[in-house]
């Protein structure tokens, strides 16, 4: 009888919200999870559009990071077996650069999210049921993959809730799908430094760059030719000025030029000029 009363009292305390003595997470049974924001109140500030090819580069970076971790794990296992034969099955990654865990299911889920980000202009809010239908994974596998992407820094998650029109008693909000935003992890090059080759450019982009380079080369050659012609004209003008100055300098304190002598003679003989008797 005492045990029955104790169980009933503990249940009543849990219902009124008294925390458990053990400190464990207590399920409140609320319709909305903690940290949820109302649908339509923050999405314009949360979502962002991605540049051309950015989503493909994000997915490739996640695949490269998962592959890098697998290779590092195998290398550490081989090193542990070669150095200590008794360390069979034990593997430790280098403590200075611990890459995050990304499973193949996580990269597959991230590929779908990158496609949504490219096609829907950054508005990513799929449900768990949609992931299950597209991938065939279990709900726990989808949740684990999303958690790995979030911990690796590729994903930013925001819980959402929506208002419910209800006349009778009950909650006025209920949980809806999360909002996701793709991100570049901080320190990604620390793990993938020298591990990735740059993505090849499309053929049309290569043709455009080659045409722009050829046009730039032609313009530079034209500028050089025009500059050389301008310099030649300037040199010719300076040479003529120098010759004129030299001629004028050489004629100082000497007999005037023929043209000047003829003009002076004409001035002496113009009609009406008094004749100098001397």
Residue 114 is assigned to a structural domain of this protein: yes
Residue 274 is assigned to a structural domain of this protein: no
The residue ranking higher by pLDDT, 9 or 62, is 62
Residue 152 is assigned to a structural domain of this protein: yes
What is the rounded average pLDDT of the residues 27-50?
A: 85
Q: What's phi and psi for 153, nearest 5 deg?
A: 95, 5
96-125 confidence digits (pLDDT tens): 566 788 999 999 999 999 999 999 999 999
- Indicate the number of domains in the chain: 1
How many Cβ atoms from other residues are within 10 Å of residue 59's Cβ? 22
pTM of this prediction? 0.57
Q: What is the pLDDT of residue 236?
A: 83
Residue pair 181/122 in contact by the 8 Å Cβ criterion: yes
CA 234 to chain centre: 50
Structural domain of 107: 37-207
Residue 2 is assigned to a structural domain of this protein: no
Q: What is the pLDDT of residue 97?
A: 60
Q: What is the pLDDT of residue 278?
A: 47
Q: What is the pLDDT of residue 16?
A: 45
* Cα–Cα distance for residue pair 226/154, rounded to 1 Å: 53
Residue 149 is assigned to a structural domain of this protein: yes
Q: Is the pLDDT of residue 92 over 60?
A: no
Strand order in the sheet with 173-182: 37-38, 155-163, 173-182
**Confidence tier at 255 by pLDDT (50, 70, 90):** low
Residue 141 is assigned to a structural domain of this protein: yes
Residue 268 is assigned to a structural domain of this protein: no
What is the rounded average pLDDT of the residues 148-170?
A: 89
Residue 6 is assigned to a structural domain of this protein: no
């Amino acid at each position: 009888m005492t045990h029955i009363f104790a169980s009933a009292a503990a249940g009543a305390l849990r219902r009124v919200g008294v925390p458990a003595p053990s400190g464990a997470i207590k399920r409140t049974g609320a319709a909305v999870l903690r940290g949820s924001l109302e649908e339509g109140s923050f999405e314009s500030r949360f979502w962002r559009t991605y540049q051309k090819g950015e989503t493909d580069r994000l997915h490739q970076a996640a695949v490269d990071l998962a592959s890098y971790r697998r290779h590092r794990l195998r290398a550490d296992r081989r090193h542990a077996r070669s150095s200590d034969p008794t360390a069979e099955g034990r593997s430790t990654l280098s403590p200075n650069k611990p890459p995050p865990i990304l499973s193949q299911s996580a990269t597959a889920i991230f590929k779908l999210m990158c496609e949504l980000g490219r096609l829907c202009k950054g508005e990513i809010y799929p449900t768990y049921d949609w992931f299950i239908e597209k991938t065939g994974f279990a709900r726990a596998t989808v949740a684990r993959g999303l958690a790995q992407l979030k911990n690796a820094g590729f994903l930013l998650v925001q819980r959402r809730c929506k208002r419910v029109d209800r006349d009778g008693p009950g909650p006025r909000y209920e949980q809806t799908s999360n909002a996701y935003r793709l991100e570049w992890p901080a320190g990604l090059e620390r793990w993938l430094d020298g591990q990735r080759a740059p993505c090849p450019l499309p053929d049309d982009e290569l043709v455009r760059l080659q045409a722009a380079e050829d046009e730039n080369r032609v313009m530079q050659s034209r500028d050089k030719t025009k500059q050389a012609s301008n310099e030649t004209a300037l040199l010719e003008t300076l040479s003529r000025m120098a010759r004129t100055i030299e001629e004028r300098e050489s004629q100082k304190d000497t007999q005037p030029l023929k043209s000047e002598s003829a003009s002076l003679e004409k001035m002496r003989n113009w009609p009406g000029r008094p004749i100098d008797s001397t």
